[in-house]
Structure 1
Amino acid sequence: MGSFHSREKKSSMAGKVVIEASAKHTATLIFLHGLGDTGHGWASTLAEIRPAYVKLICPTAPVMPVTLNAGFRMPSWFDLRSLSLTEPEDEAGIKSAAKNVHLLIEEEEKAGIPSNRIVLGGFSQGGALALYSAFEYKKQLGGVVALSCWLPLRQLFPIAALGNKETRILQCHGDSDPVVPLHWGQESYKMMKTFAPNSNFKTYMGLSHSSSTEELSDIADFMKEIMPSL
């Protein structure tokens, strides 16, 4: 469940990579990596496509045993027990991880960035957590970028959606993904559309469990649309 693995040599503090805005800071992107990756995995790539006024925060998940990988310890936002939509999920772990994401959002708010200028994003397991965390956050966010992922704890929705039901969501998925099948993303999208009508789903032909130039271009355009320069 990796991604781009370019190394980012900017500041890394308290388990997260932080790349400051290169112009006046008026917006923030918080992006969550996939299973077994770190905040460095996406930082350099996203730094190249974000608008100059956007600060980038790429936290690293805590290291924990992962059931899906025979209990081996690796960076993971919560335990993954199987690659099945019907198996029980790590509900307590997902809810706990979402609270930590909310703390990151609140840190940016305390620093003077309003919640509607904060975008939450993620890839694979990180994208799943980004979706769940957004719907569990009562204040309006600027948007959500969900890559190659699914909505976890689907049985709790739409009741569990406390906020961001009107927020714009960009969901992206490759049609050749062998890890998180395309239909997972499609099923999540169909379900989300029933309570989050501003969701948009994009499919990328030939893309496996990774990103692409086309997808990154779409993310860059989405960021500029939902958070234009002030």
Structure 2
Amino acid sequence: MCGNNMSLPLLDEAATVSGTERETAVVIFLHGLGDTGHGWAESLSSIRLPYVKYICPHAPKIPVQLNKSVPIPSWFDLAGLSPEDPEDEVGIKKASECIKAIIEHEIKNGIPSHRIILGGFSQGGALSLYTALTCHYKLAGVIALSCWLPLRKTFPQAVGNNVNKDISILQCHGEKDLMIPLEFGSSTAAKLKTIINPENIQFKTYLMQHCSCQQEMMAVKEFIAKQLPPI
């Protein structure tokens, strides 16, 4: 479990873009391996909606096998980036509890869970998918950019009678991504369609590598506006 001592520093130190009006919705967005929340806070501020607060936490620095066990910002350990590589089940579940603690904090602050979107890029997108599908709060949607579903063999059982079986997911991927190949994204979309209502999954691809682009960010903006309309 993620105690307050770890989860709330994640929130306290997060790069946050506050709303310019009364905040009635929240987007929690998780960065990729070796990154911080600052760049994504900047990207999201360029497509911001005035009543939405954007929270971009920074992952703790931990030793990562993929990085020769040198500590870098990472939500959990990664042995490799192929679907066959062993996964850090304990780390993934622990990180997921930390993100759920942020969701709980926002709910206690008056934002209903169905006005919260969880999203992320690469490793952060992977964690956002896993967290949403195992979360007991009904969320507004998931933005999953250039990523995969961790612990995919535990699904659909891991979802159980989860309230997010009908959640809307925007999944985007680069057609020239060499780090997380497009096939990995496509197979993730196919897997997700066996877990939740397939009509609720959008899978969009763009002519890009392991990065983001303006067209993708416009799709993200549209998705957020649709899932979190003004109230």
Q: Same fold by TM (over 0.5)?
A: yes
CA contact (8 A) 2:28 2:56 kept: yes
Displacement of 1:20 after TM fit? 1.1
For residues 12 and 94 of structure 2, the distance between their equivalents in structure 1, rounded to whole angstroms, comes to: 18
State the alpha-carbon separation in 1 of the partners of residues 177 and 79 from structure 2. 19
1:23 Cα shift? 1.1
Code of the residue aligned with 1:199 in structure 2: it is I
Report the equivalent of 1:210.
211
Q: Distance in 2 between matches of 1:85 and 1:50?
A: 34
Q: Is the 8 A contact 1:140 1:163 kept in 2?
A: yes
Which runs of structure 1 show a deviation greater than 4 angstroms over 4 or more consecutive aligned residues? none
Mapping of residues 33-48 of structure 1, within 5 Å: 33-48=31-46
Matched with 2:68 is 70
Unaligned runs of 5+ in 1: 1-11
1:169 aligns with 2:165: no
Q: Does the aligned pair in 2 maintain the 1:50–1:223 contact within 8 Å?
A: no
Distance in 2, Cα, partners of 1:165 & 1:95:
19
Matched, 1:23 2:24: no
TM-score (norm 1): 0.92
Structure 1 residue 171, shift from structure 2 partner = 0.2
Match of 1:135 among 133, 136, 152: 133
Stretches of structure 2 lacking an aligned partner (at least 5 in a row): 1-9
Q: Aligned pairs, how many?
A: 218
Encode CA deviations 1:183-229: one digit per residue, 9 max, x unaligned: 11110110110121211110112x10000000000000111111111
- Could you tell me how far 1:134 is from its partner in structure 2? 0.2
Q: Hey, what's the Cα distance between the residues in 2 that align with 1:84 and 1:194?
A: 21
Is 1:97–2:98 an aligned residue pair? Answer: no
**Does the 8 Å CA contact 1:137/1:164 hold for their aligned counterparts?**
yes
* Counterpart residue number, 1:220: 221
For normalisation by structure 2, the TM-score amounts to 0.92
What's the counterpart of residue 4 of structure 2?
none
Q: Contact between 2:11 and 2:57, CA under 8 Å: does it hold in 1?
A: no
1:5 maps to which residue? none
The 3-state SS of whatever aligns with 1:160 is helix
Spell out, residue by residue over 1:68-97, the C-alpha distance to the aligned partner (whole angstroms, 9 max, x if none): 111111000000001210121000000000
Answer whether contact 1:26 1:113 (CA < 8 A) is retained.
Answer: yes
Q: 1:28 corresponds to which letter in structure 2?
A: V
Of residues 68-77 and 196-205 in structure 1, the stretch that sits farther from structure 2 once superposed is 196-205
| Aligned residue among 61, 78, 81 for 1:80 | 78
CA distance in 2, matches of 1:23, 1:55: 10
Shift of residue 135, structure 1, vs aligned partner = 0.5
| Identity score, percent | 50
Distance 1:202 1:13 in 2: 30
Pairwise CA RMSD: 1.1
Shift of 1:13: 6.4
Decide whether the 8 Å contact of 2:59 with 2:75 is kept in 1.
Answer: yes
Structure 2 residue matching 1:23: 3-state secondary structure: coil
Within 1, Cα distance between the matches of 2:184 and 2:154? 17
Q: Do the aligned residues in 2 keep the contact of 1:127 with 1:145 (CA within 8 Å)? A: yes
Amino acid at match of 2:222: D
Matched residues in 2 for 1:208 and 1:79: separation? 23
CA distance in 2, matches of 1:203, 1:19: 27
1:154 corresponds in structure 2 to: 152
C-alpha contact 1:122 1:129 (8 A) present in aligned 2: yes
Deviation at 1:50, TM superposition (A): 2.1
